[in-house]
Homo-oligomer: A and B are copies of this chain.
Amino acid sequence: MAVRAAVIPAPGEAIEIRTFPDPVLEPGAALLRTTYSEVCGTDVHLFHGRLAGVPYPLIPGHINVGAIEALGGRATDAFGDPLAEGETVTFLDVHGTCNACWYCLVAKATTRCPHRRVYGITYGADEGLLGGWSAKIHLKPGVKIIRLPEGLTPEIAIAGGCALPTAFHAIERGGVGLGDTVVIQGSGPVGLMACALARLSGAQKVIVIGAPAARLGMAKKLGADAIVSIESASEDERLAAIRDLTHGRGADITIEATGNPRAVREGLRMTRDAGIYVIVGQYTDAGSVEIEPHLDINRKHLDIRATWGIDFSHFHRSLHTLARFRDAFPWCDIISRFYALDEAAQALADVEGGRAVKAVLCPNGRAASPIRP
């Protein structure tokens, strides 16, 4: 049976729907019937060809939820527990971390393993159904599959999306805990999830800086104590606002989740002396920024901690955190709209245009929803 998928033929070329044959499942593989696939900022970059090492044509969609439709003999979840047809699962988009290179074995920096491949990003359509904007996804042997934890609906899981484990990693890097005042730069999905997770970690105060108003409103729904709009406040005013909210000292921990290089300088200045500055938003090369190492870093005795990618622990723990705190926030309000597969181009445009905080594709259909700003 033919499988329909949305494909980016080449950087900048219009998305088109193509059909692919059903994959042949090797032993240990599984076939997923896609319920939801996320459309995120990375997909916008992929569309414009801004990431290195991406093979086109490409079926995007790295974070997905679906139901097991078929199994290649005995296939298991990440911990070796056998899967059954019909089970609702998600999976870590990163595949093939080698556990056999210097970065994996000596540095223990597995997110920098050069052999890792990513569904929907570094696996191209020529290699198979390896992206989520498709009615079915071929889960190769070794893909880290997780059953949705008890109480976690597919909707909440996709609301967390790829932003949730990414933010989880950032929170871990920052060591956010009781007593900490946390500033989050950026109100996109990663910033919003960092807001929620900082709140759940017991932070003393959580401040989100971003725009537009709808996203800042979402930040409030996800636990922000204060918000600062970059539309209505200049950089100086923003710095002053943070000082006012932090006894004149700045944040204990600032988490950058903007993708804008200039945010780095501003964020360093928003962090208190001997504080921690976590960079998690600089995922593509958006240029440079001028900083003053003496004033912005050394005299402040800062710790700056970059956050590249996620490993399985972040994926696993963030999903369980989401299940536990399912009722703490209206998580699904972050989903601006559900789109049919045929609307993939529209979904991407809505994300790029800032009309959607988060767009979700339903490759096997679902009543399309009105956009929520």
A residues apposed to B, CB below 8 Å? 78-80, 97, 99-103, 105-109, 111-112, 144, 168, 171-172, 176-179, 197, 200-202, 204-205, 247, 249, 252, 261, 264, 272-274, 279-295, 297-309, 311-313, 316-318, 320-321, 324-325
Which of B171, B313, B321 is within 8 Å of A105, CB to CB?
Answer: B313
Shortest distance from the beta carbon of A330 to any chain B beta carbon, whole Å: 18
- CB <8 Å contact, A321 and B249: no
- CB <8 Å contact, B100 and A80: yes
- CB <8 Å contact, A197 and B171: no
- CB <8 Å contact, A287 and B292: yes
Which of B112, B247, B303, B317 is within 8 Å of A178, CB to CB?
Answer: B317
20 pairs of residues in contact across A and B, judged by CB atoms under 8 Å = A99-B99, A106-B316, A107-B252, A112-B301, A171-B177, A171-B178, A176-B177, A261-B293, A279-B297, A279-B298, A280-B298, A282-B298, A282-B299, A288-B293, A289-B290, A298-B306, A302-B304, A303-B303, A304-B304, A304-B306
- CB <8 Å contact, B274 and A312: no
> Could you tell me the distance between the alpha carbons of A111 and B318 in the complex, rounded to whole angstroms?
24
- CB <8 Å contact, A264 and B293: yes
- CB <8 Å contact, A297 and B293: no
* Cβ contacts under 8 Å, A272 to chain B: 107
> Could you tell me the distance between the alpha carbons of A324 and B177 in the complex, rounded to whole angstroms?
13
> Could you tell me the distance between the alpha carbons of A249 and B112 in the complex, rounded to whole angstroms?
12
- CB <8 Å contact, B292 and A291: no
* Cβ contacts under 8 Å, A105 to chain B: 78-79, 144, 311-313, 316
- CB <8 Å contact, A282 and B297: yes
Which of chain B's residues has its CB closest to A285's CB?
Answer: B294
- CB <8 Å contact, A300 and B308: yes
> Could you tell me the distance between the alpha carbons of A284 and B290 in the complex, rounded to whole angstroms?
17
| Residue with the greatest number of chain B CB neighbours at <10 A, chosen from A172, A293, A304 | A293
> Could you tell me the distance between the alpha carbons of A308 and B297 in the complex, rounded to whole angstroms?
9
- CB <8 Å contact, A312 and B106: yes
Once A317-B179, A320-B204 are accepted as A-B contacts, the answer to whether A286 and B282 lie under 8 Å apart by CB is no
A sample of 17 more A-B contacts (CB under 8 A), given A78-B105, A176-B177, is A80-B100, A99-B99, A106-B313, A106-B316, A109-B301, A171-B177, A172-B178, A177-B177, A179-B321, A204-B320, A264-B293, A279-B297, A285-B292, A288-B290, A298-B307, A301-B308, A303-B303
| Residue with the greatest number of chain B CB neighbours at <10 A, chosen from A100, A287, A320 | A100
* Cβ contacts under 8 Å, A144 to chain B: 105
- CB <8 Å contact, B202 and A321: yes
Shortest distance from the beta carbon of A248 to any chain B beta carbon, whole Å: 10
Shortest distance from the beta carbon of A270 to any chain B beta carbon, whole Å: 15
List the 3 closest pairs (A to B, CB-CB), nearest first: A109-B274, A179-B317, A304-B304
Which of chain B's residues has its CB closest to A105's CB?
Answer: B312
Once A204-B321, A293-B264 are accepted as A-B contacts, the answer to whether A302 and B306 lie under 8 Å apart by CB is yes
Shortest distance from the beta carbon of A152 to any chain B beta carbon, whole Å: 13
| Residue with the greatest number of chain B CB neighbours at <10 A, chosen from A179, A283, A304 | A179
Shortest distance from the beta carbon of A282 to any chain B beta carbon, whole Å: 4
Once A202-B200, A312-B105, A313-B108 are accepted as A-B contacts, the answer to whether A261 and B100 lie under 8 Å apart by CB is no
Once A293-B264, A298-B306 are accepted as A-B contacts, the answer to whether A107 and B274 lie under 8 Å apart by CB is yes
